[in-house]
Amino acid sequence: MKDPMNDATLLSPGPCLISLATAVPGHEIDQADVEAFGRRLFAERPKTFERLASAYSNAGIERRYSCVPLEWYGQSHGWKDRTALFVENALSLLQTTTEEALQSANLTPEDIDGIVVVTSTGLAVPSLDALLMERLPFRRNVQRLPIFGLGCGGGVLGLSRTAALAQSQPGSRWLFLVVELCGLTFRGADLSKSNIIATALFGDGAAAGIVQVREDGHRLTSWGEHCWPDTLDVMGWLIEEDGFGVQFSRDIPQLVRTEMRIAADDYLSSAGCGFDSIDRFVLHPGGTKVLQALEDAFDIPHPGLATAKAVLREFGNMSAATVMFVLERELASKPRGRSFLGALGPGFTAGFAVMDHS
């Protein structure tokens, strides 16, 4: 297969990201305050906490944003309370990002033909897209696809699904939405190591992008994924009586270092573009250890994944939404050439995409 960068078909219409907007909720929380809170919360396991306390300083995070104040995390909450807060705050963030993305693209809600919504941190039936239609004047025949359960991989995988839908219906405009309110999943009664680490990493955020088939722009030329066998316990949720229980393995950085490049090379080979044609990497910053593992896996020289590190430092890990924050910053620099998008999620699954800029 020919490299599309050297092929005349590059100028043929394809799914392009024509606008992108991000948003965070209003409660800004410093990492030092989260550590102090965690020390009080896990007072019953002082030795365990002290052994893991370095995660706060080593996380590469200075601040995060939450839809609830820090005091909320010290109280008891069940599914009903968490779900009500999730729906209220998710809709608010999605409305904000949708309006900004539409304005940037010089479009109105009536111009949108389809909506894809990705989340893994809360439940809503009717789904968030249907609820959003009661706030913004979308056409009543708009197509809708809510996606749940992709975890941190949902940014790249959801954008890929949106591109595929746009490509299958030339002339259509698709709104891609992702919202993750990771803080609302925190369970104070869970004194596990994973939950302690989670308090050092996760924040809340949302993004909206518009995808349309056209001849120029930030064009998604290919996408793919890889799900490794016997890795279902690497990352995901445990369904507990009072909410989601966080599950992730300490082996993730090593899996990334040893397995990610092989899967990415297979994908790029099937997509017909060589690894040496990649100009920049837009990768989900799961944490500093994961970022280092990604730099090692892809042989990324200094300064490495600087944009991803900056997003992690300023916002924390917002699950699926995070890579869209990274992409937004990369696009602001008006890039040329080719970007490689990647993220990891439950399954254990890697999502990939190639974006050509013109």
For position 217, what pLDDT does the model report? 86
- Answer with the residue of higher pLDDT: 275 or 56: 275
For position 11, what pLDDT does the model report? 53
Q: Where are the domains of the chain?
A: 18-214, 217-357
- Answer with the residue of higher pLDDT: 273 or 111: 111
Res 122 pLDDT > 60? yes
How remote is the C-alpha of 150 from its chain's centroid? 9
Res 90 pLDDT > 60? yes
Can you tell me the mean pLDDT for 11-33? 92
Res 257 pLDDT > 80? yes
Token output for 207: 């993004």
For position 59, what pLDDT does the model report? 84
For position 75, what pLDDT does the model report? 87
For position 136, what pLDDT does the model report? 98
Res 156 pLDDT > 70? yes
For position 7, what pLDDT does the model report? 45
Tens digit of each residue's pLDDT (9 = 90 or more) over 244-256: 888 888 889 999 9
Q: Assign domain 217-357 one CATH number from 3.40.1190.20, 3.40.50.11540, 3.40.47.10, 3.30.465.10.
A: 3.40.47.10
Report the mean per-residue pLDDT for the chain.
92
Asked, colleague to colleague, whether 18-214 and 217-357 share their fold, the answer is: yes
Confidence of residue 1 (pLDDT cuts 50, 70, 90): very low
Catalytic residue among 16, 67, 152, 182: 152
For position 2, what pLDDT does the model report? 36
Can you tell me the mean pLDDT for 294-305? 93
For position 261, what pLDDT does the model report? 95
Res 6 pLDDT > 90? no
Superfamily per CATH, domain 18-214: Thiolase/Chalcone synthase (3.40.47.10)
Can you tell me the mean pLDDT for 8-36? 87
Tens digit of each residue's pLDDT (9 = 90 or more) over 72-87: 988 889 999 999 999 9
- By C-alpha distance, which of 321, 327, 66, 84 is closest to 206? 321
For position 208, what pLDDT does the model report? 98
Lowest-confidence pick of 214-218, 284-288, 309-313: 214-218
Based on the residue annotation, tell me whether 152 is a catalytic residue of this protein.
Answer: yes
Confidence of residue 13 (pLDDT cuts 50, 70, 90): confident
pTM of the model: 0.93
